[in-house]
């Protein structure tokens, strides 16, 4: 139903070099980068920061939005890895941080961190937001959190880890009334400043809803019916639907999505007590969305969406058995090669 078609790198040498990555969601981002949000089109379901950056870079590379998207994702990937190393080395140690970076980079769907999709950009902005909050750099957390919320709808959840860190800075998270008694001593002015930082992601989320309502006549919330509906289901129903789909359709990708969902659910559950609370407050709301939606098939693109759930990769990196980590790495690289080959030849992986 597109009325306008963005520049597609589908001819000559441009296709194997950059155009082969321009598939599915990447085409939508190319369209928005070229024409913006056109009235009554479904493009408002795709959030603006990535296409804005892609369009800006495209002007510097001869108008190729396909190449520009790859450049934006490549730079964002580097920024994400730097942020993960800084955060995890701070909270754990440098070897765990390096293993976390490696495990993310060789995950079966890790090629989406380099493709013109939002994974790398969202991961970079989300982790830097948490870094800023844990380092008590509140205005930076607010601004970067706002940008994250302009990259994906899930960015609004960053208000939770920022808010938690704000309460921690005020001493509220350490207060136990049955142990400490009385009322906690609160520094109200610093709490107000830090608490306002949590408004950054909410402001980004709300501003895009207002913008799309004015410019396109509908918001991302209005277009959900076209992308699988607005219904939520109990997780066990989603798991059952995914398993039945796997058996009935003989779909190995669906089996991979189901296995990934169960594994990441276990890792995030184990991380609740092992990792800082801000990690779980960031990851769990996104995981719950994956585990309660059936759109348009059970667990569509789950293997891609979990890429940004970095706390699960931290838990993998903390596995004490070197052979287990090595076996995981070998299997991960093999699946990565299979999915890359499928993506580049047109199999729906996204």
pLDDT tens per residue across span 319-347 = 999 899 999 999 999 999 999 999 988 88
Residue 97 pLDDT: 98
**Span of 2-16, 83-97, 137-151 with lowest mean pLDDT:** 2-16
Mean pLDDT computed over every residue of the chain: 91
Q: Minimal CA–CA distance to 267: which of 328, 312, 308, 327? A: 312
Query: What share of the chain has pLDDT > 70, as a percent?
Result: 93
Whole-prediction pTM: 0.94
Q: Minimal CA–CA distance to 261: which of 233, 242, 282? A: 242
What is the Cα–Cα distance from 48 to 59, expressed in whole angstroms?
17
At 41, the pLDDT band (50, 70, 90 cuts) reads confident
Burial (Cβ within 10 Å: 0-12, 13-18, ≥19) of residue 235: middle
What is the Cα–Cα distance from 147 to 124, expressed in whole angstroms?
10
| Highest-pLDDT range among 87-91, 162-166, 246-250, 291-295 | 87-91
Q: How much is the average pLDDT of 119-134?
A: 98
Residue 178 pLDDT: 45
Residue 40 pLDDT: 75
Distances (CA, A) of 17 to 10, 64, 287: 10, 12, 34
Q: How much is the average pLDDT of 198-214?
A: 96
Residue 190 pLDDT exceeds 90: no
Question: What residues form DSSP beta bridges with 298?
Answer: 294
Question: What residues form DSSP beta bridges with 234?
Answer: none
Q: Under 8 Å CB-to-CB from 347, ≥6 apart: which residues?
A: none
Tokens 């070229």 correspond to: 34
């Amino acid at each position: 139903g597109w009325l306008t078609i963005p520049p597609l790198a589908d001819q000559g040498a441009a296709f194997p070099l950059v155009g082969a990555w321009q598939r599915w969601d990447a085409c939508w981002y190319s369209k928005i980068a070229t024409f913006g949000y056109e009235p009554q089109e479904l493009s408002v379901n795709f959030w603006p920061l990535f296409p804005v950056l892609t369009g800006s870079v495209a002007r510097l590379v001869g108008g190729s939005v396909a190449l520009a998207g790859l450049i934006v994702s490549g730079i964002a990937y580097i920024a994400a890895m730097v942020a993960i190393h800084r955060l995890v080395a701070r909270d754990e140690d440098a070897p765990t941080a390096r293993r976390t970076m490696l495990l993310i980079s060789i995950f079966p769907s890790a090629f989406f961190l380099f493709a013109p999709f939002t994974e790398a950009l969202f991961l970079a902005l989300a982790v830097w937001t948490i870094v800023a909050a844990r380092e008590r750099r509140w205005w930076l957390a607010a601004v970067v959190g706002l940008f994250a919320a302009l990259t994906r709808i899930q960015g609004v959840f960053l208000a939770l880890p920022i808010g938690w860190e704000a309460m921690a800075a005020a001493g509220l998270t350490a207060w136990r009334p049955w142990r400490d008694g009385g009322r906690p001593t609160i520094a109200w002015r610093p709490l107000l400043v830090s608490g306002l930082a949590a408004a950054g992601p909410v402001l980004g989320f709300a501003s895009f809803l207002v913008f799309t309502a004015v410019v396109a006549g509908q918001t991302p919330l209005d277009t959900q019916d076209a992308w699988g509906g607005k219904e939520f289901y109990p997780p066990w129903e989603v798991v059952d639907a995914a398993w039945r789909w796997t058996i009935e359709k003989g779909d190995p990708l669906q089996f991979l999505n189901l296995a990934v969902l169960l594994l990441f659910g276990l890792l995030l559950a184990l991380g609740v007590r092992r990792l800082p609370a801000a990690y779980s407050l960031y990851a769990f709301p996104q995981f719950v969305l994956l585990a309660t939606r059936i759109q348009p098939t059970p667990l569509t693109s789950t293997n891609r969406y979990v890429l940004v759930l970095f706390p699960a990769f931290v838990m993998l990196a903390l596995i004490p058995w070197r052979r287990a980590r090595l076996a995981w790495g070998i299997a991960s690289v093999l699946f990565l090669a299979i999915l890359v080959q499928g993506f580049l030849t047109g199999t729906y992986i996204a």
